[in-house]
Amino acid sequence: MGIALIWCLALILIKWITSKRRGAISYDSSDQTALYIRMLGDVRVRSRAGFETDRRGSHPYIDFRIFHSNSEIEVSVSARNVRRLLSFQRYLRSSRFFRGITVPNSSNILDDDYNGQAKCMLEKVGNWNFDIFLFDRLTNGNSLVSLTFHLFNLHGLIEHFQLDTMKLRRFLVMVQEDYHSQNPYHNAVHAADVTQAMHCYLKEPKLSKSLTPWDVLLSLIAAATHDLDHPGVNQPFLIKTNHYLATLYKNTSVLENHHWRSAVGLLRESGLFAHMSLENRQLMESQIGDLILATDISQQNEYLSMFRSHLDRGDLCLENANHRHFILQMALKCADICNPCRTWELSKQWSEKVTEEFFHQGDIEKKYHLGVSPLCDRQTETIANIQIGFMTYLVEPLFGEWARFSNTRLSQTMLGHLGLNKASWKGVQREQSGSGDDVDATFEEMDSDILPQEPRLS
């Protein structure tokens, strides 16, 4: 018994010493940047803010406390080699897996047997009143995987491109996992919502008769991945904290470049298009990048001016591949900011979520004296003010031009919802300021005929 006890104490001491020092960096070190570099290899985080993060995630929210567990040392060499290929989000999951730890609230992503209500909703996936929040609940948080896989099948892409369905599902699972569920707005549900909107636009007469399977493939992949690995903060935040992504992309379309490169990484890792020629794969990656980079809101006026000029001249020819690609860029831009064009019930939820994300960034900026970014101060801003400005300066101009290009029932429905929602927020604004009646007179007088009604989903 005495010898056994001595051996146990010796092992505990060795384990304690090992956990305290790996290489030249102490696991108890307050130098979080050095610790991150030590644990993740090539990643270089350069932040002068020097704060410890409030929640787990990728950039810049990294919870270094996960590295303090002694059990991490017991991970096998093979496990460490595997996780070097993973994004930060999937690294966390794999480390738990190799330690035999069950991830709480696992979502059974590969389970195809979702209930009848979700299947019923997918039959109406082309309806503009599609409730993505309900669909996400019915699919146990797997709306992006379920919806995008269904759309690939619906558009005949699996058969046309001879895709391996297991590789496709694996790719979509990796995409969904690399969105940060902690983000109130920029998460996988937003990506699913944008993908569903993109599908609605692809069905529009001018597009449906002109687009090739290649165009549809690029559009759906770009929509599903357009905010991949979004950190929940905006580009100015990354720049003023000297984040390594800002340095990498020279302070230009930082997030959009990161989303695109992340998507390319997952495409290659999944091997989904490994059977295609290298030339076609490179073309696909480049064109997906063109679509995702177009969603940079700072480039809004440039794209809108080009779109308006084409419409004024009437020279858009969808038989031209370059013109089709430009229209797909505009379609993705519309899909990305279409929330104010949804029904009030859906639009209001999105407005609350994006404002919560803005305010969370503002809270961090205040806490670490970084200077609060515009729209991010919960003490001076309101949801109503933010949404009215967003609709006036960004959404209305874009969707007005889209309606010129595609003057259909869907376009009129979107503009109708946009007008009603703006009037509703103005009513909220007046109520909060205590000036005037609760209901906007304009809202009362608007003709209900402006909103063609689609069958409501049960």
Residues within the annotated binding site for AMP?
186-190, 227, 336, 387
pLDDT at residue 434 in the model? 77
Residues within the annotated binding site for Zn(2+)?
190, 226-227, 336
Residue type, 89: Q
pLDDT at residue 209 in the model? 96
The candidate with the shortest Cα–Cα distance to 236, out of 320, 114, 361, 405, is: 361
Residues within the annotated binding site?
186-190, 226-227, 336, 387
Is 186 a catalytic site residue?
A: yes
pLDDT in tens, the chain (458 residues): 566 666 666 655 554 544 443 333 332 333 333 322 222 223 323 333 333 333 333 444 433 232 233 333 333 444 444 343 445 555 555 444 444 444 444 444 434 445 689 999 999 999 999 999 999 999 999 999 999 999 999 999 999 999 999 999 999 999 999 999 999 999 999 999 999 999 999 999 999 999 999 999 999 999 999 999 999 999 999 999 999 999 999 999 999 999 999 999 999 999 999 999 999 999 999 999 999 999 999 999 999 999 999 999 999 999 999 999 999 999 999 999 999 999 999 999 999 999 999 999 999 999 999 999 999 999 999 999 999 999 999 999 999 999 999 999 999 999 999 999 999 999 999 999 875 444 443 333 444 443 444 433 33
- Each domain of the chain, given as residue ranges in start order, spans 116-333, 341-450
pLDDT at residue 3 in the model? 63
Contact 207, 331 (CB under 8 A): yes
pLDDT at residue 435 in the model? 57
pLDDT at residue 12 in the model? 59
Q: Which CATH superfamily is domain 116-333 in?
A: 3'5'-cyclic nucleotide phosphodiesterase, catalytic domain (1.10.1300.10)
* Catalytic-role residue among 155, 180, 186, 230: 186
Question: Phi and psi for 22 in degrees, rounded to 5?
Answer: -130, 115
Residues in a beta bridge with 25: 22
- Give the Cα separation of 58 and 250 in Å (integer): 20
Helix axis angle, 409-433 to 383-390, nearest 10° = 140
